[in-house]
Structure 1
Amino acid sequence: MTHDDSVQATARMLGDLEELVLCESFSSDLEAVARSAKVVAAVGARHLGTGPEFLVIDGVTHLRWSFGAPRVLLLGHHDTVWPIGTLATHPWSVVDGVARGPGVFDMKAGLVQTFHALAGLDSLDGVTLLVTGDEEVGSITSARLIQETARGPAAAFVMEASADGGALKTGRKGTSLYTVNVHGKAAHAGLEPEKGANAGIELAHQILAVAAIGAGATTVTPTVLSGGSTLNTVPAMASVGVDVRVAELAEQERVDAAMHALRPVVPGTRLEILGGPNRPPLETSMSARLFELAQELAAGLGLGPLTSASVGGASDGNFTAGVGCPTLDGLGAVGGGAHADHEHVIVSELPGRTALLRALIEAVR
């Protein structure tokens, strides 16, 4: 590709990226997600020559393009963490080679790279592209869809943004989410506190017990707390949310058993444990072969050495790896600031990462 061709390709990518970013797609606003799906479908249709299936599950709009028997799965999402109206404070801009705007890094640039990579192929045969609409809130409606789509392809390439310095993500921790509810008994805190069963005190015991379950790379973190009704009443109810991150499936199973083995300490209280595993871990063994391939292809393209990272955050790539599909993640934008005010994309990296994805697809098909 000549310099002029590269400049023109980058300009076209930025035009598509602007179109996607200007259509805000806050995960919790299902109407906004539906509008975004239409825009993503239109951009994709321009490059792929055909529109996607619209898959609406419990009100959430997902998109899927399928071209023949699946050999390669490309996976992304079009929802973002940014509430509607964020464009007013975080407007789309491209200044000094840096693109900014809500969702630009996580992960609308990855979608643009995907469409442009596919447009450059001689044939789309063997490719499936799935773009979900609820990744940022745990993929509650799309998890089964992802798992079903991932059974069969030889590889899944996840177009989430890269790690620091453009590193590909070869490992992701699995996640589990729990709520520990404590049921006690109310009583007047001044007149007869001894007749109550203090859910707050019991919750304190449980928070310490929960935190002690974590070990090594496994984190078990009490998060959102609530309890009590009035200042002068022994609390009859208290609860804590628990965030779990694990690097191995065996650890996820151990933590789940330990959570359900919790027992009350304060007489008269009762525990209710809700939740469980949300995403299995993406273990590095599921990415090793594909990362080696990516390194070889990057060298041939003159992109320089690739680096890799294992990260604590989960993605839909956890689901593909969980059903046995070799998975390489973090192939999307190079930049930083996911979920933060300084979210940005390095524009000059867009063509190279697009070329790498195209080469990976061709190699695996």
Structure 2
Amino acid sequence: MDLSAMLADLRELVTCESPSDDRAAVARSAEVLAGVGRRRLGVEPERIVLDGRTHLRWRFGSGPPRALLLGHHDTVWPIGSLEQNPYAVDDGIARGPGCFDMKAGVVQALHAVAALPDRDGVSVLITGDEELGSPSSRELIEKEAAGCAAALVLEASADGGALKTERKGVSLYRVRVLGRASHAGLEPEAGVNSTVELAHQVLAVQALGDPALGTTVVPTRMTAGTTTNTVPAAGEFAVDVRARTVAEQERVDAALHALTPVVPGARIVIEGGPNRPPLEATASAELFARAVAIAGRLELPPLARAAVGGASDGNFTAGVGTPTLDGLGAVGGGAHAAGEHVVVAEMPRRAALVAELLQEVIRR
């Protein structure tokens, strides 16, 4: 793998800012990425525009794909971030908005495929809305992964370069409380206080977490009422749920929908549900074992694994039953933060690992 070529590609991608919520910026980034891919792979990608967001796909061979390389080119960084945090490489460290999450991983994916002696059966899908929760690309990802022998996700690695073999599933809810307004000074007893009901429900929801199983149920943003002298007629709070297993997701979902009011006359409305299924350890175990063996053959540093709370598009591929290994991308740190960085010496090593893993998958 040619590190200088990889760094040239990384510079090109990072210096084209691509905040997820700016469709025009994502479209510009897609064109830059298409150019990099054309240079490395020798072919144009498909441009798939969904809800105004541009996703790119390269497919090789005439049959259905057997291995999927998955990533995204959008970032959390707004236009203008390069002015405060310019792209630079110093002392073996690359810096710049989106370099770690996950433009270096995209570069590594393209170079890994370019190194294959036979690309037949490989699909590369780079989406443009992952940081938003993949609202337009989820169905595309699931269809592309269905039937594949493996999905290799080039998201950034965990601490120390560990691969991500487990990701918690995510569920998002809005708990709404409906009461009745009245004057807080003249006749508070005539109202049904939504704030008081919210207080009861926040505590009930908080209690649904299970630390022993790694399930977190966190009430987050809350609002209620209109003025300081009115018994609030309505209020709501958001809930963020993370669970390692589908069974835990389903348990919490059932418990939330079973919430009952405490304040007489109050009503509860539950909105939302599971957003991403978990990437369970069973989905990654075989691929991780193969990656460990390959790393040994290539004389790379021993691979570690990590279970993480954050979600990725790998949750979707695992959710349709496709064996999935995540965190194969950049080694570094500081995702979404000013200290975002990539250890550049690891880029060709990771690309070589992915290339060998791809070959094993498509040969089978």
Which of the numbers 128, 136, 144 marks the counterpart of 2:131? 136
Out of 348, 351, 360, the residue aligned to residue 345 of structure 2 is 348
Mapped partners of 1:173, 1:281: distance in 2: 5
Q: Deviations for 1:88-110, whole angstroms, at most 9, x for unmatched residues?
A: 11111111111011110000000
Aligned-partner SS, 1:333: coil
Deviation at 1:239, TM superposition (A): 1.0
Aligned to 2:94: 99
Q: TM-score, normalised by structure 1?
A: 0.96
Letter aligned with residue 165 of structure 1:
G
5 Å matches for 1:50-61? 50-61=43-54
State yes or no: 1:11 paired with 2:4.
yes
The alignment-based identity, stated in percent, is 64
Q: Which residue is 2:180 aligned to?
A: 185
Q: Unaligned regions of 5+ residues in structure 2, if any?
A: none
Match of 2:114 in 1: 119
Aligned to 2:311: 314
Distance (whole Å) between structure 1 residues aligned to residue 36 and residue 188 of structure 2: 64
Establish whether residue 213 from structure 1 lines up as the match of residue 208 from structure 2: yes
Report matched runs for 1:1-365 at 5 Å.
9-68=2-61, 69=63, 70-215=65-210, 216=212, 217-365=214-362
**For residue 138 of structure 1, what is the amino acid of its counterpart?**
G
- Rounded Cα–Cα distance in structure 2 between residues aligned with 1:349 and 1:323: 31
Which residue identity lines up with residue 175 of structure 1 in the other structure?
V
Compute the displacement of 1:132 (Å).
1.1
Q: Deviations over 1:80-126 (max 9, x none)?
A: 11111111111111111110111100000000001111111122211
For residue 304 of structure 1, report the CA deviation from its aligned partner: 2.1
Deviations 1:303-361 (A, max 9, x none): 02111111111110011111111000000000001111111000111110011011101
Q: What number of residue pairs does the alignment pair up?
A: 358
Secondary structure at the counterpart of residue 287 of structure 1: helix
Secondary structure of 2:120's partner?
A: coil
SS of alignment partner, residue 129 of structure 1? strand
* Mapped partners of 1:278, 1:249: distance in 2: 12
Length-normalised TM-score, structure 2: 0.96
Q: Secondary structure at the match of 2:116?
A: coil
> 2 CA distance for matches of 1:354 and 1:328?
14
Inter-partner Cα distance in structure 1 for 2:71 and 2:264 = 49
Alpha-carbon separation, structure 2, partners of 1:80 and 1:159: 14
Q: Which amino acid aligns with 2:328?
A: L
Q: Which amino acid aligns with 1:26?
A: P
Letter in 2 for 1:220: V
User: Could you tell me which amino acid in structure 2 is paired with residue 194 of structure 1?
Assistant: E
Partners of 2:121 and 2:129 lie apart in 1 by: 25
* Structure 1 counterpart SS, 2:231: coil
SS at match of 1:117: helix
C-alpha distance in structure 2 between counterparts of 1:209 and 1:143, whole Å: 32
* Residue identity matched to 1:27: S
Q: Where does structure 1 differ by over 4 angstroms across 4 or more consecutive aligned residues?
A: none
SS in 1 for 2:253: helix
Unaligned runs of at least 5 residues, structure 1: 1-5
Distance 1:186 1:36 in 2: 50
